[in-house]
Amino acid sequence: MDRPALTALLRRLPPADAQEAGFITRMVSLLEQAEAPFSRAHFTPGHFTASAFVLSPEADAVLLIHHKKLNRWLQPGGHVEVEDADAMSAARREVLEETGLDGLTALGDGLFDCDIHVIPAMKGDPAHEHHDLRFLFQAPTRDFVAGDEVHGARWVRLEDVNAVESDASVMRAVEKLIRLR
């Protein structure tokens, strides 16, 4: 992963609020200071992940997956792999693995959002942070097949996301989506 390119990508993201501005600062710092910020074995403070907010073809719903380990509805995403050309490629790969959706159209040429959240200790890994790089896509179809890595997937109308068991970071991004419409 090209650190200078990712640093530039982060610096081009206009923060929606002070919280997101802080996330950008912390992510740039991780890129500058950590030896292996993309390694899932880098726990202090954490490592980069990539995820996707996927809009329906009509742009009225977002695709959420039910995360097996965290037991809540989230956007598709996960760890950056060595074979990923860049963070956007990682986000596309995760969508394909978790939902079978391919042929996504990128909305915008950079990051849509970023977030830092704590992952609890599990399976021998200590609690750590995921520095999540979030991209916005539109699906060519509403047809998907939930992958083995998730309990399920579903389209949720943007106005109804607050009714599903999710988290504040998903709601923050969905509110940003609603403002963009």
What is the per-residue pLDDT across 167-179, written as a single tens digit (0 to 9) for each? 899 999 999 999 9
Query: Rounded to two decimals, what is the model's pTM?
Result: 0.95
Please answer whether residues 74 and 167 qualify as being in contact, where contact means their C-beta atoms are separated by less than 8 angstroms. yes
CATH architecture of 3-180: Alpha-Beta Complex (3.90)
Nearest in space to 40 (alpha carbons), one of 123, 96, 112: 123
- What pLDDT shows up at residue 146? 86
Per-chain mean pLDDT for the chain: 94
Is the confidence at residue 68, as pLDDT, over 90?
Answer: no
DSSP secondary-structure letter at 42? -
What is the per-residue pLDDT across 9-44, written as a single tens digit (0 to 9) for each? 999 999 999 999 999 999 999 999 999 999 999 999
Query: In which element (H, E) is residue 173 found?
Result: helix 168-180
> Hey, where are the domains in the chain?
3-180
Residues facing 99 on adjacent strands = none
